[in-house]
Amino acid sequence: MAKDMLVRGLDEEIYSSLGSAAKEKGISINSLVKDAIDSWLSKKDNTVKIHHLVLYSDDKSMVSLLKSLDYFAKKSGWFKCHCGSNKNPVIKILDEMKWYNGTIIPYDANSKKIMNYCEDVMQKISKKAKGQPICCVDFMVRDIANQKSLSQAVEIEHQYNQNRTSGLMFCPYKTPDLLSAGIEDMIELFEEHDQIFILKGDKVYKLHLTLESIHKMIMN
């Protein structure tokens, strides 16, 4: 059952239409999108550069999130874009939803020059956006983690943080991609993002990461 959630800062007309759309499509207004909207509205300018990590185990959960993102992006005037392998079924759905595909052909996530390639993709997207804040879903980093290593994907994430694009950047990884990697790389990946979210169906869980001492762990 879809549940209505208050999205602070949206006017009544938008919120009402959003609730109706959620009921019609059978999707919830999930908290990941809500948090991104709240962060954006609290700044009220185009200098906000949000970079979130999204963990999911099945494509159905990801599609549910994308439907919410698509609705918000249309209402907010964001430039909807994505990048990644066309073999990914979720990419095909984004294409059907008319999201701009910034992937440069030929695409090879295993390329020795993948760092330069990713920079070129972001430049292509920024140029196409023409000053609009972006709402981007980047599946390239997941491809890199699969075909090269999570460590290489973390380097790409770090590179993006040195020169973020105005708007919302979501980096989705499937949980098996992380579980097969080392703890050190996983923690570094978490630290490269503003917030970490885990998808389960149409529910979203926020993961909080804090450094704790062994003493505190035992005493608590």
pLDDT digits (tens, 9 = 90+) for 146-196: 899 999 999 999 999 999 999 999 999 998 878 878 899 999 999 999 999
Domain assignment of residue 88, yes or no: yes
The answer to the question of residue 71 being in a domain is yes
Rounded CA separation 192/188 (Å)? 6
User: Does residue 24 lie in a domain region?
Assistant: no
DSSP 175-198: HHHHHTS-HHHHHHHHHTSSEEEE
User: What is the strand order of the sheet 203-207 is part of?
Assistant: 100-101, 79-83, 134-138, 167-174, 49-56, 195-200, 203-207
Check whether 29 has a pLDDT greater than 50.
Answer: no
CATH of the domain at 118: 3.40.50.11570
Q: How far apart are CA 208 and CA 50, in angstroms?
A: 17
Domain that holds residue 151: 29-219
pLDDT beyond 70 at 38: no
CA–CA dist 146, 140 (Å, integer) = 10
Tell me whether residue 12 is in a domain. no
13 is a domain residue? no
Q: How confident is the model at residue 6 (pLDDT cuts 50, 70, 90)?
A: very low
pLDDT of residue 1: 34
Number of domains observed in the structure of the chain: 1
Is 23 a member of any domain?
no
Distance CA 78, CA 47 (A): 13
Give CA–CA dist 20/210, Å, rounded: 38
Q: Which two tokens stand for residue 10?
A: 């949206």
17 or 96: which leads in pLDDT: 96
Task: Please indicate, yes or no, if residue 163 is contained in any of the structural domains.
Answer: yes
